[in-house]
Amino acid sequence: MTDLNTLLSQIPVSDVAKQLGVDDDTAEAAIKQVLPGLVGGLQANAEAGGGASLEKALDSHKSKQIRSLADVDTGDGEKIVKNVFGDNTDKVATKLAEADPKPNVTMDIIKKVLPIVAPIVLSFIATQFLTPKADAKAAAAPAAGGDLGSMLGGLLSDPNTQSMMGGLLGGLLGGGKK
């Protein structure tokens, strides 16, 4: 089963640290705090009727291979973050920074990490979700939020992650577009 650690291994942490002007440990801690919130927001949107929209976004990211930070379009990342969190982006960034307090991981760093990580997350999910579907020639498109929501939920299966998602971010997720 794929989990957030597999996704984390796809992110060029040292490159993110250099771009943010922080050490690798701070960048990694911020990324670890961002991933559950971002995936949880995608899941909440998919389950709230935004599955078709998310699948369309995944389809546009399926061929994007991100090997370094130079391959990341942060403008696209900003659009993804806005679509996922809507007007709650600042509130979500604050909650993510407070979720597992680490020295030097502030709301401002979280807000800078979100648009960097968002396109990587969509590319990763597109590979996980769409590649098997393309291989299964007779596979029907999943119902909005169905298989996609389940797959995203699988990424968040760690009990500690689920606790953070429900407790700290519960009402804020899914605040974006459907």
**Per residue of the chain (178 residues), what is the pLDDT tens digit?**
457 888 888 899 999 999 999 999 999 999 999 998 898 888 888 887 777 888 888 888 877 777 788 889 999 999 999 988 989 999 999 988 887 777 789 999 999 999 999 999 998 888 877 765 444 433 444 444 446 666 666 666 655 555 444 444 555 555 555 4
d(C-alpha 126, C-alpha 150), whole Å? 14
Q: What is the pLDDT of residues 29-65, one digit of tens each?
A: 999 999 988 988 888 888 877 778 888 888 888 777 7
d(C-alpha 51, C-alpha 166), whole Å? 20
d(C-alpha 49, C-alpha 58), whole Å? 16
Residue 143 pLDDT: 41
Residue 135 pLDDT: 44
Instruction: Kindly tell me the burial class for residue 134, based on how many C-beta atoms sit within 10 Å of its own C-beta (0-12, 13-18, 19 or more).
Output: exposed
d(C-alpha 42, C-alpha 50), whole Å? 9
The label of the residue with tokens 């519960």 reads 170
Residue 151 pLDDT: 62
Residue 19 φ then ψ, to 5°: -65, -35
d(C-alpha 73, C-alpha 122), whole Å? 12
d(C-alpha 135, C-alpha 155), whole Å? 21
